[in-house]
Amino acid sequence: MRTPLAWLNTIQNRKRSATAVGGICFAVLLIFMQAGFLGAAKLNASLAYRELRFDLMIVSRGYLMLTRSETIDIYRILQARNIPGVAAVHGLRLDGGRWSNRTSGGSTSCFVFGLAPGANFFRDEALNTAAARLQTRQTVLVDRLSRSSYGPWAVGGTAVINGQELSIQGDYALGMGLLADGSAIVSHDTYLRLYRIPRLDRVEFGLVQLAPGTDPAAVAAALRAALPGDVLILTRQELIDREENYFVNVKPVGIMFQVGMFVAFVVGAVILYQILASEITNRLREFATLKAMGYTERYIYGIGIKQGLIYSFLGYFPSLLLSIGLYRLLRALSSFPVYMDWSRAVFVFCLSLGMCAIAAVFALGKIKRADPADLF
């Protein structure tokens, strides 16, 4: 085996190397956290849609995102039911409300879904069954992943939303994350009373369920042709993608996480650059000696790159383990859906390599200064 010079150089001064690895580990951990927040925010943005049962969705032409959706005429729901391949179309209402914490006396945000009990709005059959119990006015299902700011509540008890007392018929697990502190599901009748709307002539969403074996794209095209231009027809995936992209690329919170990730990346690259630059400066005479011996500049650049990679590897793996632990802690504390998956692990690993590459490009220029003629 050839002498592993890069590795031996790295471990020569273990204290210094450990400090360097610690710095890189911290930067990679920051990237992991920001990437985790970003991923969770994306997931969170589309979480409600992932729970709803639909193949196509009818939304207003001015639709921005789940919580910023204009209403559509309920007549569009009726029109859509006549298109071949459509099995059912359900109107869904959604608006922000205020949940009153009876213990503290304060109020907190709560998204309220209004639906027709008995229809299969959800992919979770248990939730459909629970929703069927909302036939009675002034009843509600409450999201058990709602924040603790909701105060104590229990199924069978009562909740106060928008100043009106509702009977809690059941609960479900959704978690609104960054969108709101929690959510609740009520019937259309209750919804109209909560928001003092005289009649149900507009809804936010039209959930289109197709007959088995139907091509969603073909039906979507037929719906677009049949319905006027005041609505948009989106497939399930189109809606989820649009929702996530909007949240990540347009909403400040998504941009914030992206910028945070970029800053962590830059910090990591700067740390790695400083480590490599210092290492190369300290070893200029050694590199000059290697050049005098007949080693090519390419070989010496290779040593610098390998050291960068070694630092990246040594910094990456501890930060991977640490971030898995921190994700768990975060989930336990906030119900925020932060999960480690292979794609994120690989993505951050690639960022670590990119960090190494950028640091190396700037640091390795110093190797040019290693002039073997100066050794005499």
Binding site for another protein (CB under 8 A): 1-3, 5, 8-9, 11-12, 285-286, 288-297, 371-373, 375-376
Nearer to another protein, 137 or 285 (CB): 285
Strand-strand pairing, 183-187 and 107-115: parallel
Nearer to another protein, 230 or 371 (CB): 371
- Give min distance, CB of 289 to another protein, in A: 4
DSSP, residue by residue, 343-370: HHHHHHHHHHHHHHHHHHHHHGGGGGG-
- CB neighbour list of residue 34: distance below 8 Å, 6 or more residues apart: 257, 258, 260, 261, 264
- Give min distance, CB of 21 to another protein, in A: 16
DSSP, residue by residue, 256-317: HHHHHHHHHHHHHHHHHHHHHHHHHHHTHHHHHHHHHHT--HHHHHHHHHHHHHHHHHHHHH
- Give min distance, CB of 371 to another protein, in A: 8
Structure tokens at 213: 């074996």
Nearer to another protein, 235 or 289 (CB): 289
Nearer to another protein, 225 or 293 (CB): 293
In angstroms, the CA 2 to CA 92 distance is: 69
| Residue 114: its H or E element | strand 107-115
Nearer to another protein, 225 or 373 (CB): 373
- Give min distance, CB of 293 to another protein, in A: 6
Strand-strand pairing, 139-143 and 86-100: unpaired
Nearer to another protein, 9 or 335 (CB): 9
Whether 114 and 93 have beta carbons less than 8 Å apart is answered as: yes
- Give min distance, CB of 287 to another protein, in A: 9
Nearer to another protein, 196 or 298 (CB): 298
- CB neighbour list of residue 246: distance below 8 Å, 6 or more residues apart: 45, 64, 65
- Give min distance, CB of 9 to another protein, in A: 4
Three-state DSSP string of 156-219: CCEEEECCEEEEEEEEECCCCCCCCCCEEEEEHHHHHHHCCCCCCCEECEEEEEECCCCCHHHH
| Residue 328: its H or E element | helix 297-334
- CB neighbour list of residue 303: distance below 8 Å, 6 or more residues apart: 5, 6, 9, 287
- Give min distance, CB of 369 to another protein, in A: 15
Residue carrying structure tokens 């209402």 = 93
Nearer to another protein, 90 or 306 (CB): 306
Nearer to another protein, 200 or 284 (CB): 284
In angstroms, the CA 112 to CA 369 distance is: 67
- Give min distance, CB of 148 to another protein, in A: 55
